[in-house]
Amino acid sequence: MLPEEQISPELNDLLRSIRKQIRRFVVMDAFLAILGLFSAAFWLGYLIDYTPVRFGGTEMPHLARLLFLCVSAAMLCVLVAKSLIGRLKRPLPDASLALLIERLHPELGGRLTTAVELLSRDREIEDYSKSLLAQVHQQAQSLITSVDSNRLFRRETLVRKSLVTGPLLAATVGLFLFDPSTFALAAKRLTLLSDNPWPRRADITMVGIELPAVLASGDLSEKTELIEFEEQVARLPVGSSSTLRIKADATAAELPNLCT
């Protein structure tokens, strides 16, 4: 048995460098995917929650936001487990790296693979010619200077993910910098840290419900009785003729012409 250290330092350095580059590529690829998913989930939830408010509707209820948060968290966990942790746990033996290099550099002619496999710890050398192995090893060592490690990676993958993730992330950072209150409220609502509603363009408050006072004779008086809301509920007599009274702040918000 020949120890692994008998592989020349140049070959060891090449294989070690490529292994590190592969790990780095996996981390960058997964990082872009995670950022893209995070930004997309934020903007999708923000639009679903806030868009109805702009058209007079209401926000997503608590249950809907809970389901959205659970689905987003599950997708994020699956992405981290498969794209990052799972890929980083895969072994990268020297023989596989040597084969990958030779596929893109046919000029090596199998010398690198032969040298790596025969000098590995799991290989015995008694049945092979030591002089021939030394020659192959020397030839592989002299040819690795032509190896271009950049050819081993598909940079287009990172470029495509950057084109999707970049604008989403830039929009998220821009919202955080230029409108931090909106960003904070959106983040708190989507993470269920707050149920505060989105601010409306008009500041309207329901004062109560007015009912005409009934005289002893059964006739309606010109005076009215105001029934206020208790926990957003007002109890009225059956068949009564009531009027909803509201007030709007005309100084700090937009004054509406019509309330529905």
Euclidean distance between the first and the last CA atom of the chain, given in angstroms as a whole number = 88
- Look up residue 4 and give its DSSP letter: G
**Selection from 80, 114, 91 nearest residue 19 by Cα:** 91
Classify the C-alpha dihedral 155-158-161-166 as positive or negative. negative
Quote the CA–CA distance of 30 and 74 in Å, as a whole number.
16
- Look up residue 230 and give its DSSP letter: B
pLDDT of residue 1: 34
Instruction: List all residues 6 or more positions away from 172 whose beta carbon is below 8 Å from its beta carbon.
Output: 39, 42, 43, 183
Quote the CA–CA distance of 119 and 69 in Å, as a whole number.
53
Q: pTM of the prediction?
A: 0.70
Tens-binned pLDDT, residue by residue, of the chain (260 aa): 334 446 667 777 777 888 888 899 899 999 999 999 999 999 999 999 999 988 878 899 999 999 999 999 999 999 999 989 998 888 888 777 778 777 776 666 666 776 666 665 444 555 545 566 666 666 666 566 666 666 777 788 889 999 999 999 999 999 999 999 999 999 999 999 999 998 877 778 888 888 877 665 555 556 778 888 887 888 887 877 788 888 877 776 677 777 77
pLDDT of residue 252: 65
Total Cβ atoms within 10 A of residue 140: 25
- DSSP letter string, 122-145: T---TTS-HHHHHHHHHHHHHHGG
What DSSP element (H or E) covers 189?
Answer: helix 180-190
Burial class (CB in 10 A: 0-12, 13-18, 19+), 172: buried
pLDDT of residue 4: 41
Quote the CA–CA distance of 85 and 254 in Å, as a whole number.
52
**Selection from 39, 27, 32 nearest residue 72 by Cα:** 39
3-state secondary structure of 8: coil
Q: Are 11 and 141 in contact (CB under 8 A)?
A: yes
3-state secondary structure of 233: strand
Quote the CA–CA distance of 60 and 47 in Å, as a whole number.
10
